[in-house]
Structure 1
């Protein structure tokens, strides 16, 4: 059985290696120049903007010598290679190092630092993913520090144990529990965390209390052709989880969450949700493919980053940045040059994207002009 654990490493990016499924061609769009501003990163994921000229990037690392354990995409080995990198005025350096990381022996498709956010006090926070059952942390003691929210510092401070909350609360009700904190957003009332494994949006109050803001439901879809051996025949109705990956605050004050979708990762079926705390989530925009991040621009338009524009089972690692209008319609802004992108931030008329988010040592950050 294929479950949401298939998307553990980078919320599904490893599935890019599955044999291709036939998907209609997407017309080429005119794309602006993609300029590289940082290189040499290990599985770069979430990105945020700090004081003028500063950019922070979560590097999930490249695992290490072990211990190793079986994972949904093969053997995964532990190491302390995760980091938080700072980019400023053409320079880059690792501000926080030796953070937990779990990756293939090649160092790819890692779980580790997954997102970064600056609180109202200017202090840096970050999440550590896991991609599996919270019980893994008892089975492999080296994983104890994963699936948690931290405040950066010489000695990082644990602010919340998100894995423990998934075990005790299991907000989406899917069993067995699964946790993979993947996105982080600072608010005046604490931090919002998207747990891609738990299909939930969580709030961590300033004193560490965790509560559920929203959960995202399963859907039933038809199994496509060309799935791996042992999968259901084409056309068979199968359940598909939402797998939320990203959160941002809109100009209307509501929160917006993008979903990757779970297996079979159908092209064009990912959605953007609008969440007003205390009310049921509503769908804001549809027709996307495997969303990995969201950001609003100053002009009030939403931008959506897709990790795989043709779908995670297409065999094509090309991502895309899309612009969404106020009616939910969208168009591609940039695609060429984006390879399994993982994080998005916007400043003025520029988008900053972490590129090759499943790559060890060859990940980068690129800047894309959004035009006038």
Structure 2
């Protein structure tokens, strides 16, 4: 799995018209339901909250704020390359937008891509840090494909001290960015040996073959315990059930998230058994919302399979590991992209990331 994961390929596929994904309607079932709070959106993805407001991003890089009665445009960031930016909002109401590399795999990032921005209402966004530039001097020592210095920033979490966490889906690491643009590597996610799933065709290794697959660090959030949590997509062959969530001690530098030694060091495995995670959100009482792009895996979707994604509540267990999980709005989300809790524990989700969609409040 290289710099752009395969999300860039998915975006290109969707933009070329090869994939048609319908938006979700208000629906119920499974003791949970969806209620639109912003609809008629083109590729909604990023979601954050502040006070009684919901902030969200769309494909052209625009970021909006709504209180349910009126909606304001916060601004637009460059360099999206056809894929909406990730966003997060800190406790003071400052929203950050993170662009991915954009463009084609193996090519330089599009102008403005791989960059963290601070949004300003009525003014141009402020460039905080060029993540791609930092990663060009911070090679992934566990790289399995393409260049070890490639970058595809994908997940963002704004901390209460004014710094910002960025998960990089190509460099397979977690970064911390200061307001002056200074960057440090918090943790690196090592690849995992998985078994090749069936149905990948003659060009793939036979089903059951052990394969070293990259982590693809797509998501980051802060739990109610103050720890930092990172979720994985899982690189080729995208074996279902092999995406992990890591729990990282706040303030760490140079930690290693190792699936062979998952209980050692400042990065420990928190949960396992997920598929194609694209976002995490920290909720009340130790819960995490976990967003799966496609429950069958991103590769299954890319190959023309199901677009049904997943939204789960992951409850805490004992000894700082995950307990049971509960799926919300089962089989009602197509290619969801992001989720967020507000201060009252209300949960929001956006999708699909390609084509017409909406931001919903999840009643559960």
Give the TM-score normalised by structure 1. 0.79
1:40 corresponding residue in structure 2: 40
Of 153, 167, 179, which residue of structure 2 is paired with 1:181?
153
Q: Is the 8 A contact 2:100 2:154 kept in 1?
A: yes
1:345-364 map, 5 Å: 345-347=340-342, 348-359=344-355, 362-364=356-358
Judged with a 3 Å threshold, the aligned counterparts in structure 2 of structure 1 residues 281 and 4 are, in CA distance, closer, same or farther, namely same
1:191-202 map, 5 Å: 191-202=164-175
Q: Is the 8 A contact 2:336 2:349 kept in 1?
A: yes
Q: Is the 8 A contact 2:77 2:117 kept in 1?
A: no
Structure 2: how far apart are the matches of 1:229 and 1:95? 48
Aligned pair 1:338/2:333, yes or no?
Answer: yes
Aligned pair 1:321/2:316, yes or no?
Answer: no
Of 110, 125, 131, which residue of structure 2 is paired with 1:156?
125
Q: Is the 8 A contact 1:243 1:260 kept in 2?
A: yes
1:70 corresponding residue in structure 2: none
Of 257, 265, 286, which residue of structure 2 is paired with 1:300?
286
Judged with a 3 Å threshold, the aligned counterparts in structure 2 of structure 1 residues 152 and 10 are, in CA distance, closer, same or farther, namely farther
1:285 corresponding residue in structure 2: 271
Q: Is the 8 A contact 1:7 1:14 kept in 2?
A: no
Residues 260-307 of structure 1, C-alpha deviations (whole Å, 9 max, x = no match)? 111121111111100011444110011111111112222332221211
2:261 corresponding residue in structure 1: none
1:105-120 map, 5 Å: 110-111=82-83, 113-120=84-91
Q: Is the 8 A contact 1:40 1:364 kept in 2?
A: yes
Q: Is the 8 A contact 1:317 1:340 kept in 2?
A: yes
Structure 2 unmatched runs, 5+:
19-28, 254-264
Residues 114-156 of structure 1, C-alpha deviations (whole Å, 9 max, x = no match)? 222224543322111115668514xxxxx22110111123122
The range that moved more, 5-14 or 147-156, is 5-14
Judged with a 3 Å threshold, the aligned counterparts in structure 2 of structure 1 residues 300 and 339 are, in CA distance, closer, same or farther, namely same
1:55 corresponding residue in structure 2: 54
Q: Is the 8 A contact 2:37 2:68 kept in 1?
A: no
Judged with a 3 Å threshold, the aligned counterparts in structure 2 of structure 1 residues 223 and 300 are, in CA distance, closer, same or farther, namely closer
Of 217, 224, 227, which residue of structure 1 is paired with 2:190?
217
SS of aligned partner of 1:45: coil
Say how many residue pairs are matched. 323
Judged with a 3 Å threshold, the aligned counterparts in structure 2 of structure 1 residues 88 and 179 are, in CA distance, closer, same or farther, namely same
